[in-house]
Amino acid sequence: MIEKQSEPGKVMKRATLTLEERGVSRKELLQKARNVDNDEFYTQYEDVEKELSMYPKRIWKNKVVFCNCDDAVNATERNTSAFALYFLRNFNVLGLKKLICTHYAGKVDIFNQGQRGSVFTKYGFNERDKKKEYPKNYSGSFDDPLSLKILKEDADIVCTNPPFSRAIDYWKILIESGKRFIIISNITNVITLAFVPYFREGKVLPGYNRVDEYVNQKKEIVRASGTWYTNIPIKNRDYRNLKIVLLSDIPEKYKKYDDSKTLIVNHCYIPSDYKNPFAVSARPILNGLLEKGYEIVKDQYFPCENGKEGFRRVLVKKV
């Protein structure tokens, strides 16, 4: 850090800034360090293929796909992101117009890409690598001015697995862009205050599949509770996991009332004849509850039982 001192013209080298001067607490720093690890896991090809093949082929026709969170394209498949690989392999079958993948110059570089960040474009199988760009000072971050320009001006559909630790910022930018998307995020987003309005307003829908396994930097399988989210209409969802039945038919062990007499249901049981708001966890929403005539009426609810606060939920009600 170089800082100008009061004596004119004299530039002094300064010691590292204190945490206080940097405006961060020790706790925040530790959390940041932890987040770097939590973000560094990678989607497996089978999961990308399983989800993307559920959407009608026509949505891809002549479209520009943008993979904007560390979706490196490399000489070997091992060092290419599963998203990039899926679109490169299926470029002609889907009838894509263009694929733009960006690589984030973070602390960890699992794809061994080496550059500080790059934009790849591809117009067809025969033109691979012809349109490589390495813009100066480009970080590859989804909120870098160039990435935002691509999102705004070029992209039709965004597909990626963004860093869980930056999900709030990422979702805001993506949803405000008005572009179509199919992305992976944490399953708890559907009941987390920052994201719930998107579901309540129908701006985001749960996708088809959950994603429980990823690959870490050592190429080992790791578990994390992810799922797909999209704003592309879901036509053929399987609702069989939702058990919408009369309240009296819900087994006793899956229904209870909290201290404020609010009904709590579990195990994806949903009362069909209950008029008051009731509390649900993430899973029923992920299984399509909001498409079955129920709406979110409270974005955050922590049931209290015998004075003890339980896990986060949302309150829903039959429309």
Ligand X SMILES: C[S@@+](CC[C@H](N)C(=O)[O-])C[C@H]1O[C@@H](n2cnc3c(N)ncnc32)[C@H](O)[C@@H]1O
Please give the residue ranges that form the binding site for ligand X (CB under 6 A). 39-43, 69-71, 81-83, 104, 106, 141-142, 160-161, 163, 166
* Closer to ligand X by Cβ: residue 141 or 231: 141
N-terminal to C-terminal alpha carbon distance within the chain:
58
If residue 19 lies in a helix (H) or strand (E), which one and from where to where? helix 19-22
Please give the Cα distance from 231 to 176 (Å, whole number): 12
* Closer to ligand X by Cβ: residue 43 or 192: 43
Q: Which of 203, 195, 300, 308 is nearest to 258 (CA)?
A: 308
Least distance (Å) between residue 117 CB and ligand X: 9
Q: Tell me the sheet residues that pair with 229.
A: 183, 206
Which letter does DSSP use for residue 151 in this model? Answer: I
- On whether the CB atoms of residues 55 and 87 are closer than 8 A, the answer is no
Least distance (Å) between residue 87 CB and ligand X: 12
* Closer to ligand X by Cβ: residue 41 or 181: 41
Please give the Cα distance from 299 to 88 (Å, whole number): 39
Q: For the chain, how many residues are written?
A: 319
Name the amino acid, one letter, at 239: Y
Instruction: Tell whether the torsion through CA atoms of 270, 276, 279 and 280 is positive or negative.
Output: positive
* Closer to ligand X by Cβ: residue 40 or 258: 40
Which tokens in the block code for residue 145?
């001015």
Least distance (Å) between residue 199 CB and ligand X: 21
Please give the Cα distance from 135 to 160 (Å, whole number): 21
* Closer to ligand X by Cβ: residue 45 or 123: 45
Least distance (Å) between residue 21 CB and ligand X: 24
Least distance (Å) between residue 208 CB and ligand X: 17
* Closer to ligand X by Cβ: residue 215 or 247: 215
Least distance (Å) between residue 121 CB and ligand X: 17
